[in-house]
Amino acid sequence: MILKIAMLIIFFAIMIGVGIVSRRHATDVNGFVLGGRSVGPWLTAFAFGTSYFSAVVFIGYAGQFGWKFGLSSTWIGLGNAFLGSLLAWIVLGRRTRVMTHHLDAKTMPDFFGKRFDSNALRICAAAIAFIFLIPYTASLYKGLSTLFSLAFDIPYISCVIAMACLTAIYVILGGYMATAINDFIQGIIMLAGIVAVIAAVLANQGGFLSAISKLSEIPADPAVSVPALANMKGPFASFFGPDPLSLFGVIILTSLGTWGLPQMVGKFYSIKSEKSVKTGTIVSTFFAIIVAGGCYFLGGFGRLFDNPAIHAANGGIIYDSIVPQMLSTLPDILIGVVVVLVLSASMSTLSSLVLTSSSTLTLDFLKITCMKKSNEKKTLLTMRILIVFFIVISVVIALNPPTFIAQLMGYSWGALAGSFLAPFMYGLFSKKVTKAAVWANFIWGVGITVINMFPALQFIKSPINCGAIAMVGGLIIVPLVSLISPKMKKETVDQMFSCYGEKVTVTKQVVLTDDEDK
């Protein structure tokens, strides 16, 4: 216990220390929100990865989908790495950095407002972001509390308040730069921790081959299998698991979702240069393969740890207890490592969420409605106050959350990515996207998510599948509506896209002349 407490104290001291050191980067709005657009590729890549993966993935998703799909849930982690990280950086990274710098857009709603020349779109996007980031934040506390109870026997409410206060301190002090540096430190902890935990859990089952053998002996579960595969042999050790279609839906939501989440895409705004995007792409993908792939691979063995503690009184499964039960057999020192690992993952995501929410509400709502004449100092103060406000709201929700983490995550990602992904991506590449198409997609993304939240109106049983449908539907809606709605002025759009056609000079050593080529 002394060792575990010491590890936490050191961890907390480092986080606060980074916040204090980073204060010099947070003296103006640009520095507080974007780190002065001078953040290097390694910090940006780790910030992207640690904001992506949190207690929601390690405890909630790994437990729930590992139980449902077995080892095939590893595909979710690989989808996150190659679709959610690698492809996101390749498709969005450079163009986002170039255009947002050209438009001087600091947030995703700010991008919508300037790209489509509409303050109304900007305000609406800010409202969507603020409202639907809250349930995502609440899910972080819930996942962390289970592990703290396991390791320290600390009440849930104490875990929530401590995590909220610590995150508030370093984000308020150092802004985005403090978040990015802490994300880098937390990311290294996550990489080392997940490898150690997987090795220890498999060792408890007699090694990898023994664990696979035991898993293959577990029969299909009617509750999680499609009828055609109900008699499948060894479904939880199979390549695609007992329900391939549902597995595909989870991969789409958790992978493509990052393309439309403001706290994720915002990382591209702040990267130092276009050249840094290449390095960031490689580092971010490697990080995702280890962390996401490792989390879901670990969760795939969840059924080997079946015991009464994960079964509810009504006969259901308490999914959020599966991974903690797997970890309860570990030595104390490894439990301490796991607590710091999940704390790192959760705090990095939480810091990104609260910074995104406060900056969005301040710059994209208050600043263009009731704070038009506020100076830099007052704007910064407002953002810091709203960080506290946002954390308090999320804590209140976290104290009485829905049954499972995945529900909170599904609704949040579904509404945000369903609303933002398509117009943001198309807006970076096509001059033909219209305001009407963006409005239509906002209505679609929020509408389908909110309707599906009410049991009486629910037509898609899983919030995960609902979110996936919202995103894919948006990719169809935006180009269709753009075809039949009024276009923006050609001169205005051409000016916006001129940033992609700027000429650069290179040294002779880099490019051969025609004569030399002969």
For 487-506, write each residue's pLDDT tens digit. Answer: 999 999 999 998 887 655 54
CA atoms of 32 and 14, how far apart (whole Å): 20
pLDDT of residue 152: 64
CA atoms of 254 and 450, how far apart (whole Å): 19
Minimal CA–CA distance to 56: which of 291, 221, 275, 236? Answer: 291
φ/ψ of 362, rounded to 5, equals: -70, -55
Count how many residues are written for the chain. 518
Q: Which residues of the chain have pLDDT under 50?
A: 406, 506, 510-513, 516-518
Q: What angle do CA 306, 311, 315 make, to 5 degrees?
A: 125
State whether the Cα torsion 445-448-450-452 is positive or negative: negative
pLDDT of residue 240: 86
CA atoms of 417 and 307, how far apart (whole Å): 37
**Alpha-carbon torsion, ordered 265, 266, 268, 271, to 10 deg:** -160
pLDDT of residue 404: 53
pLDDT of residue 516: 47
Model pLDDT for residues 17-28, shown as the tens digit of each residue: 887 887 777 777
CA atoms of 311 and 304, how far apart (whole Å): 14
Model pLDDT for residues 268-321, shown as the tens digit of each residue: 888 877 778 888 899 999 999 998 999 899 989 988 888 887 887 777 787 777
CA atoms of 434 and 423, how far apart (whole Å): 9
pTM: 0.83
Tokens of 387: 């960080």
3-state SS, residue 96: helix
